[in-house]
Structure 1
Amino acid sequence: MKLKNTLIFALLVAGLAACATAKEQHLQDGFRVMTGEEIVSVFSGQTVEGRYSDGRGVFVEFRSADGRLTTIESDGRTYHGTWSVDGDWLCFIYTDFPVKKCVEVLTKDGRYVDIRTGGREFGKFTDITSIQPGNVNNLPLK
């Protein structure tokens, strides 16, 4: 039993160390953390496309200037909710998952990455592959 607990602990520590490096690796690669003002300026009223680092696929999302949000995943699932900026954090609350989740947004040379730095998704990140002005896909808002 002691060996099993030791192995579980070692795997947990190794997993957390690997996750922690996602932000550190991006910072070492020349990315920097965006301010709240920058986040609003870049993402408000924009259609955002991105790719999840964990292989879940891609998404397209419209972040309206009034804080409403619609996301469509690559498997066709659609989510509605709100987005906001809290300090220098980009935050989301989805109708189906009414828990506020916030991410740090990093940037380098016009490239954007958001990184989960807490909770169950600690260390995962999203590469933003496209930002276009307006609701170019006419995603319905609620």
Structure 2
Amino acid sequence: MAWFEKIVPSRIKTERRSRSVPEGLWIKCTACDSPLYRAELERNLFVCPKCANHMRIGARDRLLRFLDPDTAKEIGERVTPEDPLKFRDSKRYRDRLTAAQKSTGEKDALIAMSGELEALPVVACAFEFQFLGGSMGSVVGERFRRAVDH
């Protein structure tokens, strides 16, 4: 805004444009910066069709794509993290857990699922790196143990 418009407001009114493209419809490739249509990228398993860059896939999505459709069943989903030591460094561990759970939508770093792979029964695990860098706490150990025992 120019200094004189502060004194005498403009008579020309511009209408605000609303975004006609919904949020998340396009994704920029992390390697070549090409805009990519989300649906096409998902069909291509998050590999950029322009430069063949493999983009990050979350652990849950990776397992659901790996296992045969409608066969996946999560193992140890009710096991939740605790902080019995009341650990604290620059930030409380409980606060770090809450922030990680909110940002990822996961309860802990390891996701374990049973299902079928080409009609054969399998158990698979994957780490969600976005959850505290895939740190290994008691929940990771317990979920892994349950997956092995399954």
The structure that has the greater radius of gyration is 2
TM-score with structure 2 length normalisation? 0.28
**More strand per residue: 1 or 2?**
1
Structure with more contact order per residue of length (Cα contacts < 8 Å, sep ≥ 6): 1
